[in-house]
Chains A and B, each alone.
Chain A
């Protein structure tokens, strides 16, 4: 059974800092990995999708890396802003077993960027 863990559970930083969010998964047989952002009481907004054959993806101030063999991904946020405050969720799409439809999520990292 795939398990996804995100560290840290919460992070508070001053504006302007660069930061790294970590995600690990137990089964390396994945199709892709996706990072999401969730604001309180809202749905999920897709940030980056990394296919299993890729090592990283970039979008603006965000960079996500994937090391499938070690079961790890990181989300790097450059020059953080108060508007980046949200919960960040990592999710993997399994390729193994009989499940082709299941995206497994971590519990998220709650990020607070203070002015």
Chain B
């Protein structure tokens, strides 16, 4: 399977615990994105990486959230001290983009990681 892979698919945790999600993008894609989706809503942008550089973060990404892409390949999204409001589907996407023009090609999404905070 050469698509975007996300793990774990489901995570149930108690409020106050830390959780980490992993995303493995399509191998030749240099851009990696994180989105959050709550029930009945469209996905909301959280952050994106061009190779290993984190180029933009949404205001939705509070200081309890941190994302890394250390070698420009896989990425992790960590949520510290989880709150019930963090319950959502966390989606990862990747694309092949031009650094020179800052344009991007088609985005391909993974199956998502569903977080439930009790």
Contact = CB atoms under 8 A, between A and B. Distances in A.
Interface of A: 4, 31-32, 34, 36, 41-46, 49, 89, 91, 93, 99-108
B22 to A, nearest CB: 15
Interface stretch (B11-19, B65-73, B78-86, B104-112): B104-112
A21 to B, nearest CB: 14
Contact of B106 (A46, A100, A105, A108): A46
B41 A107 contact: yes
The range of chain B's interface size is: 20 to 34
B43 A105 contact: yes
Between A32, A100, A102, the greatest number of chain B beta carbons within 10 A of the residue's beta carbon is seen for A100
B109 A34 contact: no
Given A103-B45, A106-B42, A108-B42, A42 B104 contact: no
A93 B97 CA distance: 12
* Majority DSSP secondary structure for residues of A touching B: strand
Nearest to A100: B102
B42 A107 contact: yes
Nearest to B3: A43
Given A31-B103, A43-B4, A91-B107, 17 more contacts: A36-B109, A43-B110, A43-B111, A46-B107, A46-B109, A49-B105, A89-B42, A89-B43, A91-B42, A100-B56, A100-B102, A100-B104, A101-B56, A102-B45, A103-B35, A103-B45, A103-B93
